[in-house]
């Protein structure tokens, strides 16, 4: 049996299905932001060419091009920094486990052991999704560099529930 070149990307996508931040999706997201920045910059270049006789418009459009490049670069580099040596993977076999990789190491948590979770964000060190067992003992923390805010935590939990049965409730801070 011969393997074709098109079979390899399919296998990679299937492997990445159980990763919270697949490298391919992060690259695609970064490319989309850079493409958006290029399109906005082209609009500002067109505006600058049309209004070339006006120094205020010319310098204003140059400033907008610079701001667009700066914001895009900071955003893409920030995501790359956040994602370095960080990953959350779900193992869907019985028993389902959550594998949390950070620069400090890897923690595996059996989802059947998780009785509750809480989102915390009072300090930078505390920001993240905290997973507890039935006795209230901390099993793991998915830190704020992996999941930045409540909105992303809710998307993460939806992603997790699409893959495995999640038997616990999450306590969100009062708004």
SS (H, E, C) 61-119: HHHHHHHHHHHHHHHHHHHHHHHCCCEEEEECCCCCEEEEEECCEEEEEEHHHCCEEEE
Q: What is the mean pLDDT of the chain?
A: 84
Does 135 score more than 80 pLDDT? yes
Average pLDDT value for residue range 141-170: 86
| Three-class secondary structure of residue 127 per DSSP | coil
pLDDT-based confidence at 165, cuts 50/70/90? Answer: confident
Per-residue pLDDT reduced to its tens digit, 34-61: 999 999 999 999 999 998 899 999 999 9
Measured CA to CA in angstroms, residue 57 lies from 13, 43, 64, 79 at distances of 47, 13, 10, 33
Instruction: Evaluate whether residue 12 is within a structural domain.
Output: no
**What confidence category does residue 32 fall into, taking pLDDT thresholds of 50, 70 and 90?**
very high
Cα–Cα distance list, 168 to 92, 112, 124, 128 (Å):
16, 9, 25, 16
The answer to pTM > 0.75 is: no
Last residue of a domain, one of 64, 83, 102: 83
* CA dist., res. 100 & res. 143, Å (int): 10
Q: Let me know whether 105 and 119 are in one domain.
A: yes
Which of 65, 83, 101 corresponds to the end of one domain? 83
Residue 2 lies in a domain: no
Give the span between the Cα atoms of 52 and 58, in whole angstroms: 6
Examine the pLDDT at 119 and tell me if it is beyond 70. Answer: yes
Q: What is the pLDDT of residues 74-114, one digit of tens each?
A: 999 988 887 777 888 888 777 888 888 888 888 899 888 99
Same domain for 114 and 96: yes
Residues 109, 93, 163, 147: what is their CA dihedral angle, to the nearest 10 degrees? 30
Interval 129-137 mean pLDDT? 91
Evaluate if residue 146 carries a pLDDT over 80.
yes
The mean per-residue pLDDT over the stretch 159-169 comes to 85
- State the total domains in the chain: 2
| Whether residue 2 has pLDDT greater than 50 | no
What per-residue confidence (pLDDT) applies to 105? 87
> Taking the alpha carbons of 98, 85, 106, 151 in that order, is the dihedral positive or negative?
negative
Q: Which domain holds residue 36?
A: 22-83
């Amino acid at each position: 049996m011969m393997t074709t070149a098109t079979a390899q990307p399919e296998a990679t996508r299937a492997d990445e299905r159980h990763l919270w931040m697949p490298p391919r999706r992060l690259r695609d997201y970064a490319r989309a932001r850079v493409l958006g920045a290029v399109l906005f910059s082209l609009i500002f270049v067109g505006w600058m060419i049309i209004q070339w006789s006006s120094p205020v418009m010319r310098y204003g459009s140059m400033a907008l091009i610079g701001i667009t490049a700066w914001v895009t670069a900071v955003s893409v580099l920030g995501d790359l920094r956040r994602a370095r040596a960080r990953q959350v993977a779900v193992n869907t076999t019985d028993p389902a486990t959550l594998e949390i990789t950070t620069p400090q190491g890897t923690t595996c948590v059996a989802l059947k052991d998780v009785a509750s979770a809480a989102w915390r964000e009072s300090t930078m060190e505390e920001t993240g999704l905290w997973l507890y067992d039935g006795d209230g003992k901390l099993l793991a923390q998915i830190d704020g560099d992996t999941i930045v805010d409540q909105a992303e935590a809710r998307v993460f939990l939806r992603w997790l529930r699409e893959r495995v049965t999640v038997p616990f409730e999450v306590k969100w801070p009062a708004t």
